[in-house]
Structure 1
Amino acid sequence: MSKYKNLDDIPLTFGPVQLAEILGISKNKAYSIANRPDFPKIHVGKKIVISKKHFISWMDANFFDTAKF
């Protein structure tokens, strides 16, 4: 069970392990998503850092509007 119940629970920055927890997916899949060229992240050394604000914008832009179906 995820410790992230709503958007307020997500930290301002996080990594692929937390991305996996947020989305309820495997760590391998989270790293695969985080390494996509269009995914918003920065590299600090070898570490991947994801911004909550940019992640939410990316999610909004990349999900279908299910109300149309």
Structure 2
Amino acid sequence: MTPRKIIGYALIALGFLLIILLGYGVVEPFGDTSQAKDMGGLLNALAPSLLLPLAIFLVGVALARGGRRR
């Protein structure tokens, strides 16, 4: 197993861990959710908190999958 795949799997696990911690309330969202008046405002406040773990997860998938196959 190459170091690239190990780092990829570690990033996938980190992405899952961050989402789980956000769900249980251990990690607070980055945005100010108290000012949200409707669902759109709430989603705008929570977007950075949810997109960061998603981006970490997708980078991990790209690394674990490997390069282009010919």
TM-score w.r.t. the length of structure 2 is 0.28
Larger radius of gyration: 2
Report which of the two has the higher share of strand.
1
Does 1 or 2 have the higher relative contact order (CA < 8 Å, sep 6+)?
Answer: 2
TM-score w.r.t. the length of structure 1 is 0.28
Report which of the two has the higher share of helix.
2
